[in-house]
Amino acid sequence: MFRAEVVGSLLRPSYLKEARAALEAGRMPLSEFKRVEDRAVDQAVALQEGAGLDVVTDGEMRRFLFMGPITETVSGIEPVEHGNAMPWATPEGETEWVFPAAVTSKLRRQRSLVSEEYSYARARARVPLKVTVPSPLVLYGLWNPSYSRGAYSDAFAMFADAAEVGRSEIRELVSLGCTYIQVDAPELATLVDPRIRAWTESLGMPAERMLTEGIELINGMVKDISGVRLAIHLCRGNNVGMWMASGGYDYIAGALFQRATAFDAFLLEYDDARSGSFEPLGQAPDDKQVVLGLVSTKSGREETREELAGRIDEAARFFPREQLALSTQCGFASVALGNPIGEAAQERKLQLIAEVARASWR
């Protein structure tokens, strides 16, 4: 049982960002860019191991978005002129972010991104390696009635195809010997906010259907996998310091814990008041693990050991302490641009997770 984890992405080094820009501008050959990616992965693994984490990722250095294993490996998604306007929020107030793309034809898997990620990082990591795969429902902002109806009359038909892509990636990982796979499903946690529920409803995706048929699609991606630790991660949106939703897990807890039965662990965002209380953890099955995302990746404010220890004690009032663990609330760079936090703060936060976990579960 792992006690100290990172969710997935790490800040991209400046040299990797510069190399990606050069690749896209035609100034760097792909072969050279891949060597730069390798260097960034080496650095990411070393950073996490040096911090003392129990499990590491490759930092998602090969992805532009955390959704890369779907959005960067399939045909059927294209740039569009009038993308969906998705609700977001910043410390200054509510805003919108317009999707620059949409699903325009049937989704077809072209290649595997996760096999490259795992195969390379496996040879570098000295501790267990986790690979993240996006939930099919993360495409909810890419189903645009103006562009998508010709391919999918219903968004859930698109989700079903995306789930098959995800299932293929997961099977590929299992065949390569991966022993820890995490499905990222932030869209589920955004449904705690009535504002987001109204938005999904306007696109023909009622929350009730997302929490029934949708969770069953996610669970179906992994339900026949054995010999692998399976986790699902939820947050309320993470994009260069912005978020989508506010509200406790009360609205979704019953559906999540009753339907996502194939997962061994739930990694849940809990870094600030937007996440509500720990009381919904009382609905989690007692044979699962809950990983508390208490350490924020959205700002450089450093949590204290005392603060984190106190919150772990509080969570343990509702779920067995021996089945709890500690992590960041989300990745540091769900989008390659990264959150407004420095590399030194990132390293200190990772070290803090390891230190508090060791002290809390001896």
Residue 91 pLDDT > 90? no
Q: What does DSSP assign to residue 272?
A: S
d(Cα 331, Cα 239) in Å, to the nearest integer?
10
Give 37-54 pLDDT, tens digit per residue.
Answer: 999 999 999 999 999 999
- Tell the residue number behind the tokens 């978020």, with chain if given: 243
Are the C-beta atoms of 118 and 228 separated by less than 8 Å? no
DSSP strand E in the chain: where?
Answer: 4-5, 74-79, 85-90, 93-98, 101-109, 131-134, 180-184, 229-234, 265-269, 289-295, 324-328
Residue 137 pLDDT > 90? yes
CB proximity list for 234: less than 8 A, separation 6 or greater: 185, 186, 188, 189, 256, 266, 267, 268, 269
Q: What is the pLDDT of residue 239?
A: 87
Give 294-314 pLDDT, tens digit per residue.
Answer: 999 998 899 999 999 999 999
Residue 77 pLDDT > 90? yes
Q: What range defines the domain where residue 160 resides?
A: 4-360
Are the C-beta atoms of 185 and 233 separated by less than 8 Å? yes
Q: What is the pLDDT of residue 240?
A: 87
Residue 202 sits in a domain whose CATH number is 3.20.20.210
| pLDDT grade for 92, boundaries at 50, 70 and 90 | confident
| Number of domains present in the structure of the chain | 1
d(Cα 223, Cα 230) in Å, to the nearest integer?
9
d(Cα 343, Cα 350) in Å, to the nearest integer?
11
Are the C-beta atoms of 132 and 63 separated by less than 8 Å? no
Are the C-beta atoms of 129 and 122 separated by less than 8 Å? yes
| pLDDT grade for 115, boundaries at 50, 70 and 90 | very high
Mean pLDDT of the chain: 96
Give 182-209 pLDDT, tens digit per residue.
Answer: 999 999 999 999 999 999 999 999 999 9
| pLDDT grade for 266, boundaries at 50, 70 and 90 | very high
